[in-house]
Structure 1
């Protein structure tokens, strides 16, 4: 070997040597036989340097992975001999190789196995086992090799080609027939031999058993001697985490429900005495594994019970339910554990257990006790701890938020099982806490209000969620809401309590329709230091949004407070920052909600029209003044459509439009201004209706200047909204703007971009989708003249882009849209009285598109959107037949299908289906027949298509 080049393998070597080493590596990889020096070095143990050994294995790996088929029989035999000689050397070494070398060796062994097990080396495992025996160094390599094989052959997270999948299936089938019993026996011997002397080998072996148990005969593992051995290792500190994982995989193995119950009942009985010791452990890592195991056992038992109950097997179902109930005390200990990871791991079993109880005709006293215990556990675990950082939430805080979502699922399920018990439990906790909120810790106050909030989604309406019925017999929810808004807890000085108070008030805003006398007090809480003027920006921001929602729901009950509210929030609507040097209380985004709330109050109030107009002008004039300053312009107002004209505010909003539109030509903050004006126009289309139309042409002209992809992508929905709403009213405008808009899109899509610029590629993809959606809106709006009057050359250019989108772009969403457009154009222009020359276009381009699109390698029939695209292909073909009749059938049979080498039988079959009146027949036919038309599709694709066709 090139000793100078090998010097470059040292991590500390200089760049010149490293470059020479890389060149040498490439030379050895590509040579027909130079790599054999690496095989010799490994077989004879010539080098002691770890980096050189690793290098030699890399060279060997490349030959096996990429050039194995081209190797001669002698060279293939050389690889096998090299590996076995290297392994033999390991048995004699006093010290094992470094882990990274053993891992690389295992990968090479695994690759050789995959290439040769079915043909050249059927005794692969027997040769290795006979060589290594129980030598610890050899066993280590053997176990690593098994895990490397699992990664290549079994691991579902690795994508494989259809050919690789078929090969892997054949490998597993052959292993099951020939060697799995021997492998299992070797695992048992390893587990038994090394559990005290070499716990690391035992852990490796447990990992192997857990990996392989999913696809081998479970009876080889789930038997007395194996399970007893695994259970004994649950009490060995060095082994118990891996033993837990291994047992978890065994428990999760699919099997007959009666057998599963027997396994789990027998398994549990033999180590039941251990189960109640573990929750007192301080080793949280182990307990997390243990709770995951118990969760798997519980869920498996529930699944068995469900199958047995559905089958009417009363006796076995009762025994299985008894086994489930036996785990509940342990479930409760783990659920309430102070470590949230341990608790979270048992939530699945808890949820399934409650689902079982929900299905029982009657609950026993013990089951009712279990339900109450789960409720108390959930309420306790919902509570924040002292370490939660509310001002700077990080990863730990995010994890607790997700954990709370899991607990909410349990609360919802508890409500389904026993709403009365849940309601009473929450009421008890809430009432007790509200009586002493002044002295209670914040986490107790917050969780009490949180429970009230969560009841709104957990309880059905019949339990008072909407505060309906006889108000003399107030519901528990109504009592709690009355307590919440009157006990003074809104003054509690903690952000979590403040936020929960306002969230709950808005969650139950219908309460104030029943008892409107509480509105003034709650309004004051919103408006003073408890809400919009709170010292926490987080609280102020959220309250601004909640205040807007509160006003929207209850505006009919606020007529007496409108001018007082507007006066109190006037400073919050100012766009200029305070002159005292402090930051504004609300951000510009938060101010949007305040403007919205103010507008709703004005428009829906009972003041005379003149007063409403004056209030609205007073509200918006500062906004328009600020907009005219170059640095402003991102705030606008959202308003209620139904009443804007009635309140006399149309003129005010026209004035706003006249003020805002000139800003589109301003070069400063152009993106922000365009986005703001665009959003304002969207809302004015709803509010002002046809009175907005005179402003659209000028706005469009400005927005089409110097466009980026994102600008156009956001502008197209505005034009689509106008088209869909006003239709023929805007036909002249659409005819005028159609080609400028299309050409602007073409120009942006044609701009060059870096090959690896994913952001630019995504922007273009989204713009292309928007473009096709725009054409679909035009074609489907009944305004045939918009496209028809663009001139033959422009029409042809546009329609060609639709053909291109249907066939060439690997984007099934866009492809589906394009076929919808083509079908519509055939309907409009493809008949005898249609557009001149369009029938020729149909036969030359649209028909081929329907058949060529599925030929593309990117046309992935395992994707649901692609299957929908295939359906639209069928609809397009059907539309062509409706418009062209027998002429189309003759074209297919005599010209087009023969050009695709389609057999006359299938051609005739397709044409017969095309002539069926129901298009569903054609859709289903094509979904199935596509696999025969295009042999690259597998049986798996066909099965997926059959599945989707049933949806």
Structure 2
């Protein structure tokens, strides 16, 4: 072997050696017989270096996997002998590293699937003869069995139909020839190594679990084997694998009656051995019985289904005990059976008293287990807390299922727990109070009524929930001093906001809770933050009932609406994200109030004037600031000011509502105030982003009153811009174009070429080859640019914006579209480009179209329709690319529609012959093009290009 090349196998070798090793690997793989040096090295143990040994196995693996059919009978025999000699050498040598043993097992498995049915039927007998009960040999044998399972059985691995057929033949042959011998070997391994080699015993249990799904169950599910598994259950290090093995036995696909018998016999054995309290086993057996019951009911076998139901019911007492277990992990492991059992009860026409009692017991257990324990860390939630949150989600699924089985029982059970907790909240521990409110909250999703119907319709349900909500908001529990209770209170109030429409007299007290030390002024930032959001939702639903309190609320939240200056340094009650919700709440309250328009205007002005004043002050400071960190902090603050003003406008649905409230003038003042930020030479990206978002909102709220601001804003935003700036600016122009159409035509004609040139200047800037971010930004900008062109030409009155640009400019734009259609492997942009080309042909391709455009069609658009799909980057198996191809076909269809026989003649006599397309195919394509149905052309075009690329 090339010793110098082998040096490159070391992970620490330099690049030159590594490259040489790669080249050597390829040579050995492809050579007719050079690989044999690797076989010799393994058989004779010539190398001690782990990386060289692994390398030799890789070379052998390649020969078996990809070149087996090319090998002579002698070479195939050499591989078999090499593997067996290497295996023999392992019995007395130092054990190999795990990664080498795994690779060896993979190679053995590959040799097995390739040769077992033909050249090597005695594969397993040969291995078992060599290894006997040598622990190192047994380890390799078990690893090989698992590797064979991965190749032949594992359902998670996709196999071709040919491989599936081969695997079926292999399993059939194994069942006939060697499975009993393999099972016997497993028994011997489990029996002999259970005290001395725990790791091998666990490996063997895993093998049994993997193979039991397709071998004769009687070979495993018998007294001898099951007793052995039970003895493993009493050894702590083996228990989990033994459980998993039994679980696989129970999970084996089989006739439902036989399955029930198997589960019952295993239960008896486990019970008598004292192991029938392992939750995974109870869960697995319970779920297996549910599956059997479901199948039996489906085929109408009432007798057997009744027997299976009885077997299932017999496991319920233990299931309940495990569900209520103080260890959440044990409880979580039984939830699956519990959930499925409730599903069975849901399908029964009548429930027995015992079944009703079981349902109640599950409810009690769920309610108990939902409760936080003393150790839960609310301030610093870690892994344990995250696991409990996940466990709670599982319990919630059980609660939902309980509600489907018996909504009345659930409602009454929750009412009992809730009433007790609310009556004693002042002395009860926080976890009892929290879980009581949590249960009320959960009913909202669990009960099958829509939320509104909880307080109307079904009187019994409505009154129970109504009664609980009334108790929640009147008992004083909102004063409870624990964040979990406080949060649950506010979440529930908002979940059942419809209750306050039925009983609006409670709104003032709840509003106070939102606004005082219990809510927005709570000690915990987590509570304050969540309450800011929940208050905005509460107000949105109930604003019609708040007219009398609006000015009082606005006064109380006044200090929370202040823009926190960056130099302040003191902690604020709310973050800027939280403040967004408070501004939105203020906006909704003002807009939905019943006061006169001038009062609304005054309220809105008093809300926004402080923001405008702070904005002007901070912008002045930013222009003078030299320190970059301070600049960033000031820009951030300015951006928040714009964002807050923008958020207040969410209360308006359109221009009409702004006018009716007399607020247009206030927002125009905001625009005047914010616009100078676009000219700020520092922190441009942040400031432009904020003002741009505000303009988007104002186009909706002020409509044409915004138009005078657009030219100046555009000019400033196009100055010294980056790809991201432009990409985010284009949607603004698209919004204006779509909304105002002809009204903005003069402005668009003016801004069109400067925008196009700015885009292509940015796209032309060189970027580093591996700069993925820059490449993605350019791709997104290109897409935005083509979307912009599409928006303009799609509007009936706007395409003149392009046609009035002058010949050179028009040509420049058209060539960028052709380039986008053909040159860039981005199907999303290409699809847009073909849509544009199709539309341009429709607009300008007829007899009275744009002068010179027909010439452009033949010179550039037609070639684009053929050259783009012929590119190797045009992936005809990709769904997005197929959409692009459809647009390409529609473009050709549109050319035929506009140019008629002239186009067909051009294709037949000039263009397609220049591509060396045969006369028959040319004729075929031209006939399809002339058919009226576009779908025929789309299907044909795909086949046309698939053939063309062969």
Q: What's the TM-score, normalizing by structure 1?
A: 0.83
SS at match of 1:644: helix
For residue 377 of structure 1, the aligned residue among 348, 362, 365 is 365
The residue number in structure 2 matching 1:83 is 83
The residue number in structure 1 matching 2:742 is 728
For residue 780 of structure 1, the aligned residue among 770, 776, 794 is 794
Shift of 1:846: 5.7
The verdict on how the C-alpha distance between 1:223 and 1:301 changes in structure 2, with shifts beyond 3 A counting, is same
Q: Give a deviation string over 1:127-146, Cα, whole Å, max 9, x none.
A: 43443355443232122123
The verdict on how the C-alpha distance between 1:671 and 1:230 changes in structure 2, with shifts beyond 3 A counting, is farther
Shift of 1:186: 4.2
5+ residue gaps, structure 2: 623-633
Q: Give a deviation string over 1:891-927, Cα, whole Å, max 9, x none.
A: 7788878888989998888777766666566667778
Shift of 1:686: 1.7
Q: Name the CA distance, whole Å, in 2 between partners of 1:157 and 1:801.
A: 47
The residue number in structure 1 matching 2:507 is 519
Shift of 1:474: 5.5
User: Contact between 1:438 and 1:492, CA under 8 Å: does it hold in 2?
Assistant: yes
The residue number in structure 2 matching 1:415 is 403
Shift of 1:714: 2.7
The residue number in structure 1 matching 2:192 is 197
The residue number in structure 2 matching 1:695 is 709
SS at match of 1:645: helix
The residue number in structure 1 matching 2:266 is 270
The residue number in structure 2 matching 1:567 is 555
Q: Give a deviation string over 1:500-539, Cα, whole Å, max 9, x none.
A: 1111112222222222211111111111111111111111
SS at match of 1:634: helix
The verdict on how the C-alpha distance between 1:528 and 1:917 changes in structure 2, with shifts beyond 3 A counting, is same
User: Contact between 2:399 and 2:446, CA under 8 Å: does it hold in 1?
Assistant: yes
Q: Name the CA distance, whole Å, in 2 between partners of 1:517 and 1:892.
A: 79
Q: Give a deviation string over 1:14-42, Cα, whole Å, max 9, x none.
A: x7x88898588557535557765554343
The residue number in structure 2 matching 1:552 is 540
The verdict on how the C-alpha distance between 1:9 and 1:691 changes in structure 2, with shifts beyond 3 A counting, is closer
For residue 634 of structure 1, the aligned residue among 639, 644, 667 is 639
Greater shift in the superposed pair: 482-491 or 403-412? 403-412
The residue number in structure 1 matching 2:53 is 56
Q: What's the TM-score, normalizing by structure 2?
A: 0.83
Q: Name the CA distance, whole Å, in 2 between partners of 1:699 and 1:248.
A: 69
Shift of 1:660: 0.4
Q: How does 1:427-506 map to 2 (within 5 A)?
A: 427-461=415-449, 465=453, 467-468=455-456, 475-506=463-494
Shift of 1:123: 5.7
The total of aligned residue pairs comes to 911
Shift of 1:859: 6.2
User: Contact between 2:376 and 2:385, CA under 8 Å: does it hold in 1?
Assistant: yes
Q: Does residue 1:661 correspond to 2:660, yes or no?
A: no
Q: Give a deviation string over 1:843-890, Cα, whole Å, max 9, x none.
A: 666667667766666666776555655655565565556555666677
Q: Name the CA distance, whole Å, in 1 between partners of 2:814 and 2:52.
A: 57
The verdict on how the C-alpha distance between 1:88 and 1:761 changes in structure 2, with shifts beyond 3 A counting, is same
The verdict on how the C-alpha distance between 1:794 and 1:609 changes in structure 2, with shifts beyond 3 A counting, is same
Q: Does residue 1:140 correspond to 2:139, yes or no?
A: yes
Q: Does residue 1:737 correspond to 2:751, yes or no?
A: yes
Q: Name the CA distance, whole Å, in 2 between partners of 1:932 and 1:536.
A: 64
Q: Name the CA distance, whole Å, in 1 between partners of 2:932 and 2:318.
A: 63
The verdict on how the C-alpha distance between 1:193 and 1:9 changes in structure 2, with shifts beyond 3 A counting, is same
Q: Name the CA distance, whole Å, in 1 between partners of 2:249 and 2:757.
A: 62
For residue 374 of structure 2, the aligned residue among 372, 381, 386 is 386
SS at match of 2:719: coil
For residue 65 of structure 1, the aligned residue among 62, 67, 85 is 62
Greater shift in the superposed pair: 70-79 or 326-335? 70-79
Q: Name the CA distance, whole Å, in 1 between partners of 2:827 and 2:321.
A: 50
Q: Give a deviation string over 1:746-768, Cα, whole Å, max 9, x none.
A: 44444444454444444444444
For residue 646 of structure 1, the aligned residue among 638, 660, 663 is 660
User: Contact between 1:125 and 1:179, CA under 8 Å: does it hold in 2?
Assistant: no
Shift of 1:651: 0.7
SS at match of 1:660: helix
Q: How does 1:531-930 map to 2 (within 5 A)?
A: 531-577=519-565, 582-628=570-616, 629=618, 630=622, 631=634, 632-635=637-640, 636-637=644-645, 638=647, 639=649, 640-642=651-653, 643-782=657-796, 783-791=798-806, 794-795=809-810, 797-798=812-813, 802=817, 811=826, 813-814=828-829, 816-836=831-851, 865=880, 879=894, 882-883=897-898
User: Contact between 1:803 and 1:849, CA under 8 Å: does it hold in 2?
Assistant: yes
Shift of 1:710: 3.0
Q: Name the CA distance, whole Å, in 2 between partners of 1:473 and 1:736.
A: 65
Q: Name the CA distance, whole Å, in 2 between partners of 1:624 and 1:177.
A: 81
The residue number in structure 1 matching 2:180 is 185
User: Contact between 2:113 and 2:170, CA under 8 Å: does it hold in 1?
Assistant: no
RMSD over aligned Cα atoms: 4.3
Q: Give a deviation string over 1:632-675, Cα, whole Å, max 9, x none.
A: 31223222224322121111110100110111122333232122
Shift of 1:150: 4.4
Shift of 1:315: 5.2
The verdict on how the C-alpha distance between 1:325 and 1:518 changes in structure 2, with shifts beyond 3 A counting, is same
Q: Name the CA distance, whole Å, in 1 between partners of 2:391 and 2:50.
A: 47
Shift of 1:4: 10
Larger Rg: 2
The verdict on how the C-alpha distance between 1:28 and 1:820 changes in structure 2, with shifts beyond 3 A counting, is closer
Shift of 1:426: 1.9
Q: Give a deviation string over 1:293-317, Cα, whole Å, max 9, x none.
A: 6555555554555555455555555
The verdict on how the C-alpha distance between 1:27 and 1:654 changes in structure 2, with shifts beyond 3 A counting, is closer
User: Contact between 1:192 and 1:229, CA under 8 Å: does it hold in 2?
Assistant: no
Q: Name the CA distance, whole Å, in 2 between partners of 1:277 and 1:812.
A: 65
Q: How does 1:33-52 map to 2 (within 5 A)?
A: 38-46=38-46, 49=48, 52=49
Shift of 1:442: 1.6
Q: Name the CA distance, whole Å, in 2 between partners of 1:930 and 1:213.
A: 51
Q: Name the CA distance, whole Å, in 1 between partners of 2:613 and 2:869.
A: 58
User: Contact between 1:548 and 1:596, CA under 8 Å: does it hold in 2?
Assistant: yes
Greater shift in the superposed pair: 695-704 or 93-102? 93-102
Q: How does 1:228-247 map to 2 (within 5 A)?
A: 228=226, 232=230, 235-237=233-235, 238-247=237-246
Shift of 1:9: 8.7
